[in-house]
Structure 1
Amino acid sequence: MADDTALKLDAAQLNAFLARAFPEAGAQLPEVVEAEPGRVLVRQAFASRALRPGGLISGPTQMAMADTAAYAVILAHIGEVAMAVTTSLTIHFLRGAKPGELYAEGTLLKLGRRIATVDVLIWSESRERAAAKATVAYAIP
């Protein structure tokens, strides 16, 4: 089992890897702003294309943030393993995410040899007014 207290990639290294792995995303790629043992914080700049009818940030945008935060916290601990893949993502939408920067905090729940599980909290206004909560599992090759 990987050591969940030691980071193999910091925030800058994670951002560089994500930019190489997803070059087509360009400026739309979320940014890892913090990486520490067991936790990452990811930020997505506001873009009006992320809004759904009614002027709230869309569910698919929030799900992508949950997936990105999970991928980032796992890679922070196992290194550049591009083929780690999502096996499940369960999300609960708690309230509408108002337009603005979107944040996702991924917390590593379990890091095994083949499966990792991450808890993700998503918000736009403040962490205390979470818009969604997700649990994401990844298969590790």
Structure 2
Amino acid sequence: MALQFTIPEMTAYLDKVFPQVQGMFGIDRMDEDLLIMRLHNDERHLRPGGTVSGPAMFSLADVAAYVATMARIGPQALTVTTNCAIDFMRKPAAGVDLLAHARLLKLGRALSVTDVLLYSEGKPEPVARANLTYSIPPKG
């Protein structure tokens, strides 16, 4: 399925529908095969010990799955997360952005399923893996 947004259009859309996270995320790549998003890591995302918190990692995975879905179905802001499973596998590197590599595994009329691997920028091993399902509202 062809993409419904360019990267600048998607960024503007996210800023409009989720102004509370404006500037927190960036899109590095968005095509039919892969979405790469980044969490601009700063002090608000850290937990004691100086590592990225689980909630910040979840946010990146969730937004990446949302963007991967929106990129294909167009602007349907009421598309919502219905399931998420996340495995935290390694401590993220300190002082670098986190990258989400999101692949849409299934896109149906009512649901999308996305697999997301999270990486510390510059590191080859994933720090977390998430599987998310989104509910797509009926048309009309």
- State if a TM-score over 0.5 links the two structures: yes
Structure 1, gaps ≥5 residues long: none
Contact 1:116/1:138 (8 A) holds in 2: yes
1:37-75 C-alpha deviation (Å, 9 max, x unpaired): 042110111211211111110111000000010000000
Instruction: Tell me how far 1:27 sits from its aligned partner.
Output: 2.6
Cα–Cα, structure 1 residues 119 and 127, in superposed 2: closer, same or farther, change >3 Å? Answer: farther
Match of 1:121 among 102, 113, 117: 117
5 Å-filtered alignment, 1:39-54, equals: 39-54=34-49
Code of the residue aligned with 1:34 in structure 2: it is R
Alignment identity in percent? 36
The residue type equivalent to 1:68 in the other structure is V
The superposition leaves residues 71-122 of structure 1 with CA deviations (integer Å, 9 ceiling, x where unpaired) of 0000000011100000011000110012211111110000000000000010
1:24 to partner: Cα distance: 2.5
2:60 aligned with 1:86: no
Q: Aligned to 2:124, what secondary structure does the other structure show? A: helix
TM-score, length of structure 2 as denominator length: 0.92
Q: Note the aligned Cα RMSD (angstroms).
A: 1.2
Structure 1 residues 33-42 or 81-90, which shifts more? 33-42
1:13 aligns with 2:13: no
Query: TM-score, normalized by length of structure 1?
Result: 0.91
Query: What corresponds to 1:137 in structure 2?
Result: 133
Does structure 1 conserve the Cα–Cα contact (< 8 Å) formed by 2:111 and 2:134? yes
Q: Note if contact 1:106-1:121 (Cα within 8 Å) is conserved in structure 2.
A: yes
Shift of 1:126: 3.4
Moved over 3 A (4+): none
Contact 2:40 2:98 in 1 (8 A): yes
- Name the structure where helix makes up a greater proportion of residues: 1
Whether the aligned pair in 2 keeps the contact of 1:38 and 1:73 (CA below 8 Å) is: no
- Residues 31 and 42 of structure 1 are in contact (CA less than 8 Å); yes or no, is this contact kept in structure 2? yes
Query: Offset of 1:135 from its aligned partner?
Result: 0.2
